[in-house]
């Protein structure tokens, strides 16, 4: 960023993560009723009626259906239009989580995905969530992706897409912020409070409170102790992508 751009920049309060937005009073009992009266496949079919609607009732129903279909989901879940999932029954979702429009969260029938409290997932995100943990207060930029598996590519005498999958755990630790369009590859841990630059391709672990950017991503800086807060408090400065 140029010095002129820096002089013109302004700092504003973050919105998501700095306040709690509770569910409507009817959502929790509605989700419980749906869980008790609809099978998982029926919930998926019901979700199709409300996946694209921008109105308040559609938004309420998306939340209720996600909370009914997930293994567990907390209060204040917000689900944008067109947000899709596979194997949501393998997901544990915390409270006050935002799922952006047209996001895709792809679980696995025998997998596990845990999303912590106050996580913000931007529009058009893609998450291969077969063995994924995203801890609390993570900001996930629009279009950023997680790849949690790869084909082995062997034997050579069959198409690659027919070879076995190698699933490796991906861990995004608390307070981390992942920039727009970044890609996290299988087996990677992004450390607590780290920042991943826009468009970065992360092929190896990123230490806590680091700044990583590039293709492949490299650590280009460290966040100073003066930027951190006690673990019991909200992180300083989630990115504007999470605002």
CA distances for 110 relative to 72, 129, 130, 161, angstroms: 16, 11, 8, 20
CA distances for 189 relative to 204, 206, 208, angstroms: 7, 6, 10
Report the alpha-carbon distance of residue 52 to residue 120 in Å, rounded.
Answer: 20
Q: Which of the residues 16, 87, 118, 151 is marked catalytic?
A: 151
Does the annotation mark 96 as catalytic? no
Q: Looking at the annotation, which residues are catalytic?
A: 151
């Amino acid at each position: 960023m140029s010095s002129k751009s820096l002089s013109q920049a302004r700092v504003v309060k973050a919105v998501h993560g700095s306040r709690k937005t509770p569910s409507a009073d009817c959502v929790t009992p509605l989700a419980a009723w749906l869980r008790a009266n609809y099978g998982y496949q029926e919930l998926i079919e019901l979700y199709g009626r409300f996946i694209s609607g921008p109105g308040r009732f559609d938004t309420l129903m998306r939340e209720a259906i996600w909370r009914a279909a997930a293994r567990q989901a907390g209060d204040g879940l917000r689900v944008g239009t067109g947000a899709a999932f596979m194997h949501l029954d393998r997901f544990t979702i915390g409270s006050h989580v935002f799922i952006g429009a047209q996001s895709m969260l792809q679980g696995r029938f025998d997998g596990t995905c845990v999303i912590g409290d106050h996580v913000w997932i931007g529009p058009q995100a893609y998450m291969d969530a077969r063995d994924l943990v995203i801890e609390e207060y993570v900001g996930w930029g629009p279009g950023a992706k997680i790849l949690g598996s790869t084909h082995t590519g062997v034997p050579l005498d069959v198409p690659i897409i027919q070879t076995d999958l190698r699933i490796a755990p991906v861990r995004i630790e608390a307070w981390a912020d992942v920039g727009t369009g970044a890609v996290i590859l299988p087996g990677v841990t992004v450390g607590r409070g780290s920042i991943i630059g826009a468009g970065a391709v992360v092929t190896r672990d990123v230490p806590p409170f680091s700044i990583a950017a590039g293709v492949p991503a490299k650590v280009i800086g460290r966040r100073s102790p003066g930027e951190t807060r006690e673990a019991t408090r909200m992180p300083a400065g989630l990115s504007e992508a999470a605002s």
